[in-house]
Amino acid sequence: MRLVYALGLILLSALPLLIGCSGSNPSQATLSLDAAHEPSPVQVRETLRRLATARPDSFLVTRVRQGGLTPTFGTRFRLASGAVAAFIPGRHPVRGQELVMVVARGEGVPGAALIATARILAARAGRSLSPERTVLVVFLPPPAQGDALTALFAAPPWTRDHVAAMLLIEPDEVMAGRAEARAAEQGWALQFIEETSEPQGDVSAVLALARATVHAALLVADTGQQTADFPRPDASVPSQ
């Protein structure tokens, strides 16, 4: 009798936990998972420091490899343009053949935000939460990021007709102009991700951009929709 009573107490005490872990609120579970894999402020500061070194591309390759992302070509993470790229395979048997590119220059806040984004998406995939479409993260090499972006449009590492969208993190005016012109030519959906609030320093800016990028990437990869709450640079910027 005492054993039955004790088991009843254990089950009763565990009930809130079971309810919280159930599928009744998947958004909370998703947020918890993403937050658990966000870099700490200390890690973000170290990332920013390493991206400011003379050879940030080697650091980027190390980070995407450690994150468990798949190399773009065989065992290679570098494209001919010098960009560093890796992908998270899509889970859908058909839409998994389509590509969502998430692109940033490989330096400063945008580069650190893309590293954090890749880490979160790879961690989700490791927990059987892969996006439906394949997501490719691309770090453009500074200071030639404009040329590398043009090369990415000219020779994407995927079948051109299967590129669903490109998300571009914090582009400067030249990058924005080139992206808009080339995306219009290719017929690709294009979205710019920018921080809209006033961040308290680079670390908070990195984390805010990473959260926004993960949200936008999953929305596009899983539904084909785009968020509308991130401003786009002036569409009148000429292509250069």
The answer to whether 150 and 83 have CB atoms below 8 angstroms apart is: no
Distances, alpha carbon 179 to alpha carbons 30, 189, 190, in Å: 31, 10, 8
Global confidence as pTM: 0.79
Burial of 207 (0-12, 13-18, 19+ CB in 10 A): buried
Which helix (H) or strand (E) segment is 222 a member of? Answer: helix 202-223
Write down the domain spans for the chain. 27-223
Please state the rounded mean pLDDT for residues 22-28.
38
More confident residue, 199 or 239: 199
Say how many C-beta atoms besides its own lie within 10 A of residue 1's C-beta: 5
What integer pLDDT is reported at residue 177 of this predicted model? 92
Of residues 125, 145, 6, 13, the one with CA closest to residue 69: 125
Please state the rounded mean pLDDT for residues 84-108.
93
Portion of the chain with pLDDT greater than 70, in percent:
78
Instruction: Decide if domain 27-223 falls under CATH 3.40.50.1220.
Output: no
The answer to whether 87 and 72 have CB atoms below 8 angstroms apart is: yes
CA pair distance 218, 131, nearest whole angstrom: 6
User: Mind listing the pLDDT tens digit for each residue in 129-146?
Assistant: 889 999 999 999 888 888
Dihedral angle, C-alpha 28, 33, 36, 37, nearest 10 °: -140
The answer to whether 44 and 207 have CB atoms below 8 angstroms apart is: yes
The answer to whether 193 and 216 have CB atoms below 8 angstroms apart is: yes
Written as six digits, the tokens of 83 are 């960009």
The edge-to-edge listing of strands for the beta sheet with 70-71 is 70-71, 84-88, 134-140, 99-105, 163-169, 189-193
